[in-house]
């Protein structure tokens, strides 16, 4: 069951008052998106697990001091996750890498399929490394963590329009890096077409 903003704020207030069940509900709601974000920024899955747990430990410790101040709890939590990843990368000298593998339903893929999947993941990881830090943050917060542009802007401390611009430029850079054709947009001339003047 998804929680709306009002329900989240109610749970935050209950958790601040010492209700462990309320914090458990917040953990259940945010764990997967936070883990996806962290996993998209670190090399090893074990590090992603450890850092995700660390984010929630830090959140529990800081919760008594949390005040909304116009930033929803989710934005505050993802800012905490972002800072935790930045600290980890600085101290471990690791670089962001795509450590996310798609869950496979049914039978195990064969060696050829595994090799192709690994190549695709490596190519995307290499392409992500070519982005600026802000572009990479915008992409990981929007697509790996599933935040809205407004929420990502709050986490990054930027304007929503700036985040949308970073996202647009990052996607264009990733398309170029991966050799993906630009989608056809009705009414927009292709690179070799002239606009019609009739």
Domain ranges of the chain: 5-100+115-178
Kindly report the pTM of this predicted structure.
0.57
Pull the structure tokens for residue 48: 């992603």
Lowest mean pLDDT among 72-86, 116-130, 154-168: 116-130
pLDDT at position 196 is 45
Q: What is the mean pLDDT of residues 127-132?
A: 81
Lowest mean pLDDT among 94-98, 112-116, 138-142: 94-98
Residue 104 confidence (pLDDT) above 80: no
pLDDT range class, residue 11, cuts 50, 70, 90: very high
pLDDT range class, residue 190, cuts 50, 70, 90: very low
pLDDT range class, residue 198, cuts 50, 70, 90: very low
Phi, then psi, of 179 in degrees rounded to 5: 70, 35
Higher pLDDT, 107 or 54: 54
Higher pLDDT, 159 or 188: 159
Please name the fold of domain 5-100+115-178.
Rna Polymerase Sigma Factor; Chain: A (1.10.1740)
pLDDT range class, residue 121, cuts 50, 70, 90: low
Higher pLDDT, 24 or 183: 24
Q: How many residues does the chain have?
A: 198
């Amino acid at each position: 069951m998804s929680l709306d903003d009002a329900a989240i704020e109610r749970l935050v207030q209950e958790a601040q008052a010492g209700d462990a069940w309320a914090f458990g509900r917040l953990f259940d709601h945010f764990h997967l998106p936070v883990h996806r974000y962290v996993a998209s920024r670190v090399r090893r899955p074990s590090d992603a697990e450890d850092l995700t747990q660390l984010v929630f430990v830090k959140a529990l410790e800081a919760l008594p001091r949390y005040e909304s101040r116009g930033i929803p709890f989710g934005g505050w939590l993802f800012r905490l996750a972002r800072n935790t990843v930045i600290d980890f990368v600085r101290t471990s000298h690791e670089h962001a890498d795509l450590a996310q593998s798609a869950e496979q339903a049914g039978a195990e893929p064969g060696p050829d399929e595994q090799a192709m999947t690994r190549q695709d993941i490596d190519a995307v990881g290499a392409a992500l490394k070519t982005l600026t830090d802000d572009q990479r943050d915008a992409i990981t917060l929007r697509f790996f963590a599933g935040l809205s542009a407004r929420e990502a802007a709050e986490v990054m401390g930027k304007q929503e329009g700036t985040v949308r611009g970073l996202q647009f430029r990052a996607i264009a850079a990733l398309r170029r890096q991966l050799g993906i054709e630009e989608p056809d947009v009705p009414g927009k001339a292709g690179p070799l077409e002239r606009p019609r003047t009739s």
